[in-house]
Structure 1
């Protein structure tokens, strides 16, 4: 289906059996086809069930959306849509079985906390998601007992958006790197559907190279009054190469001011975030600070410019010191040989995170929003 022909809104009824009025039927064998514009990826493992003979019956037994469902085992459902922000509503449940469904978008953005429904219970869960690139909304469903009964998708371009600019500790890491994960990848699940997270962070970039390579431009094209721009740089500003290197109290602060001015020019709110600590411990069990003056420079700039500050350096220090030398191996990319398929030889990485660590850091960011009383973001935290 050509881009200009794509519909903007969808209502899908999943599973075998009759289709609910006003919905499009999706059975386990509905595979993505560009002409169709939606479907499960071709390699997906998907099963379907219709509950028609339940002892004693159940509430909603006559409702086609509750009668039948698909069971997606790590399967991705794809919908062709024009680029923009979309609201998604998921219905998940089962008359006979307890269900737990996880939902990720794109390369692995966690969109919701686990949707946990008791047997005979159906839950509706909503989130907002930004679609960029090829205009394809890709939703991946996992969990110990996942269900999709129905999906509704419609445009929501007026949604308040949190834009993220930063480096590899923030970015959406690709599926081919799982379990590598940036904290920005986990952040959407901490917001209600009133907020969308648009993560533009990119691995290997500093506050200097991010601008020089034009990565700030697409943010400025989309950001609107009332939105937020969260900035976390430092890891790569410390590097010696001229393409990325900045000096803490001169060029680094100068570069960050460019972002602050850009956000304010669009009537958006900039938020400075100090760089998360690396996993280097001293003999006494405290963390070694590898960022030094870059952290101080951000704190000073936030005070000078009256900009909200999320001190993730301090928050991560407390978090990691509490977990300790061994416990932090579950936060960082310390994986055993054979533990994950993409890393057969194992990894020992003291800078980047796996999902647990990224999720715990995203929780710290959410907690900081509460403590700073950043409105209206605070109202929209789950």
Structure 2
């Protein structure tokens, strides 16, 4: 994993040492790079500001693909326009939020860097925003970058593009992490602490995690479900199973961090939040104390957030969608467990704030 890439987007002559990407540069396996679709990609050349700033692509409803070996890559992007304001959002892979509504004023340019965890041999960067721009992009291997691995369920996982605005908080966490760290989200919908292991997902983490990486562990939603594949009992098999995650991380000189289950949206008549996880929360808190493991008490912080917002405003965080509001859910939906993108961002911010408050070293260095 040694090759670096430098792309100059637009229609002008390419900057020295850069490969030109035009609105017609559709992905093909021979070149190994290009846009997924080009029918709505346009370009402008302002001529004056210099080789990389003078021209750009306007990437609407498309993604840029690059075939690479699996691993961590640092991506640097140049965004802006000489004559008008811009707003660009960039997501990596299955919707991991890297750059959120980045704005530039006329004549100003932003250079932003972030690290991306790549699997399946392809880096994918999707673009959106009110006025998206991409002027230039550099991509280089970053094998030494710190990685935050996530083990969890549907409230954490990367939800697919065709499920927008459905989002897990782990999908939104990258926007709170600096360029020297990447988020590797292995969380999967429907998994408990037990089935995550039996299906071999934890083994995938063990094959990739390295010393001084971090493993955030949040289960409980599906451990409650009384089927043989998933059920664990809070003070026995649940704690015993979670200890396998702790011991495995420590054996590999990585740092485990326990996370209590994020709360569901169920309110009592007096406006207080109803706890639906019960002993599973107590068990995680006990285990963190017994094993001297850092604890993110997301149950507590999410409870405080929901009660501050109240029953009506919290609908904006969850998958409470009106019919016709979102293309992917034409009939609407009312879901008190899973988040839409705004909720994913809010919960990821709670995780970020608790990580900051821990003041763990060197983790502090990697948080924005």
TM-score (norm 1): 0.95
Partner residue of 1:293? 279
Pairing partner for 1:88 from 75, 95, 108: 75
Q: 159, 166, 187: which one pairs with 1:173?
A: 159
Matches within 5 A, 1:172-251: 172-251=158-237
SS of match in other structure, 2:126: strand
2:300 counterpart of 1:305: no
Once residues 179 and 100 of structure 1 are traced to their aligned partners in structure 2, the CA distance between those partners, rounded to angstroms, is: 19
Q: Pick which of 371-380 and 174-183 moved more.
A: 371-380
Q: Which runs of 5+ in 1 are unaligned?
A: 1-5
1:258-281 Cα shifts (integer Å, max 9, x gaps) = 000000000000000000000110
Equivalent position SS for 2:263: coil
- The CA deviation at 1:380 is 2.0
Instruction: Verify: 1:264 aligned to 2:250, yes or no.
Output: yes
1:43, 1:148 → 2: CA distance?
14
Alignment of 1:12-161 (within 5 A): 12-42=7-37, 45-52=40-47, 61=49, 63-133=50-120, 135-161=121-147
Q: Deviations over 1:71-128 (max 9, x none)?
A: 1113201111111110000001111011111110111000123322111111110000
Q: What is the deviation of 1:40?
A: 0.5
Cα displacement string for residues 21-48 of structure 1 (whole angstroms, at most 9, x for unaligned residues): 0000000111001111100013552110
SS of residue matched to 1:111: strand
**Counterpart in the other structure of 2:332:** 346
Find the aligned partners of 1:7 and 1:140 in 2 and give their Cα distance: 24
1:322-371 Cα deviation digits (max 9, x unpaired): 11111011000000111111111110000000000000000001100111
2:344 maps to what in 1? 358
Report which stretch shifted further, 99-108 or 110-119: 110-119
Counterpart Cα distance in 2 of 1:378 and 1:295 = 26
- The structure 1 residue matched to 2:3, chosen from 5, 8, 17, is 8
TM-score normalised by structure 2 residue count: 0.98
Q: CA deviation at 1:7?
A: 7.5
Alpha-carbon displacement from aligned partner over 1:130-152 (angstroms, at most 9, x marks no partner): 1102x011101111111100000
Deviation sequence 1:142-169 (CA, Å, 0-9, x none): 1111110000001001100000000000
Q: In the TM superposition, what is the alpha-carbon distance from 1:8 to its structure 2 partner? A: 2.5
- Number of equivalent positions: 368
Residues 92-101 or 370-379, more deviating: 370-379
Question: Matched residue of 2:261: which SS?
Answer: coil
RMSD: 1.1
Contact in 2 for aligned 1:88/1:153 (Cα 8 Å): yes
4+ aligned runs moved over 2 Å, structure 1 = 112-115
Quote the Cα distance in structure 2 between the aligned partners of 1:25 and 1:292. 57
- Counterpart Cα distance in 2 of 1:7 and 1:232: 34
The 3-state SS of whatever aligns with 1:325 is: helix
CA distance in 2, matches of 1:211, 1:156: 28
**Does the CA-based 8 Å contact 1:44-1:76 persist in structure 2?**
no
